């Protein structure tokens, strides 16, 4: 059992927002799908711990939905130890499958954070493990050297998880897989906190 003063605050953010909902493929809308996954994650978090007798080592906190600048401002004003944003990958005209986790280039803590999370969630998703990558912008199909805003502007270690490509989602993601992912994700956060990266 963790002591109160050991409690870490971990923020969980949904990528995009209703007015700019991200990628779309057939009937799948990225932001709406992300919100469903985040609901499942919080259900699993609540089911994992008996809060009356076993306090978790971290407090999982939803980041309010909004524009990227608003979310980063909220994170930086509320004393988080770690933050995660959830997205889904997308490519036009090709069928690609796989999960990956992005971290801030040059951040040792971000690298360790991403490594632990990806090592936990990849087996649960049962698809190709695309590993961890530096989170940078793409321009004209080529990677730039500019880190993604969410990663470079947050004051605490931050990662972005992309569990699957929308183009493959209906073939690979089931309720059971999403549940397994959610449990693996909670286990990963517990490991991150225990190791105090």
Write down the domain spans for the chain. 4-195
Backbone conformation region of residue 186, classed left if phi is above 0, alpha if psi is from -120 to 50, else beta: alpha
Tens of pLDDT, residues 137-191: 766 566 667 889 999 999 999 999 999 999 999 999 999 999 999 999 999 999 9
Return the SS3 of 48.
helix
7 within 8 A of 59, measured Cβ to Cβ: yes
Domain 4-195 indexed as CATH 3.40.630.40 = yes
Tokens of 55: 């306090």
Tens of pLDDT, residues 7-49: 899 999 999 999 999 999 999 999 999 999 999 999 999 998 8
pTM of the model: 0.92
CA angle 14–19–25, rounded 5-degree value: 75
- How much is the pLDDT for 1? 34
């Amino acid at each position: 059992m963790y002591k109160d003063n050991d409690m870490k605050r971990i923020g969980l953010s949904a990528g995009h927002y209703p007015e700019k909902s991200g990628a779309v493929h057939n009937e799948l809308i990225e932001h709406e799908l992300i919100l469903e996954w985040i609901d499942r994650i919080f259900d699993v978090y609540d089911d994992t711990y008996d809060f009356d007798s076993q306090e978790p080592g971290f407090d999982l906190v939803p980041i309010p939905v909004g524009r990227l600048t608003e979310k980063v401002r909220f994170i930086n004003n509320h004393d988080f130890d770690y933050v995660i944003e959830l997205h889904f990958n997308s490519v036009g005209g090709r069928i690609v499958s796989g999960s990956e986790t992005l971290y801030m280039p040059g951040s040792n803590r971000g690298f360790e954070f991403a490594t632990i999370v990806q090592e936990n969630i990849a087996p649960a998703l049962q698809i190709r493990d695309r590993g961890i990558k530096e989170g940078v912008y793409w321009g004209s199909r080529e990677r730039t050297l500019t880190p993604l805003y969410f990663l470079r502007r947050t004051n605490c270690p931050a990662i972005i998880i992309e569990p699957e490509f929308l183009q493959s989602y209906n073939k690979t993601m089931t309720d059971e897989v999403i549940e397994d992912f959610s449990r693996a994700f909670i286990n990963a956060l517990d490991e991150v906190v225990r190791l105090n990266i």
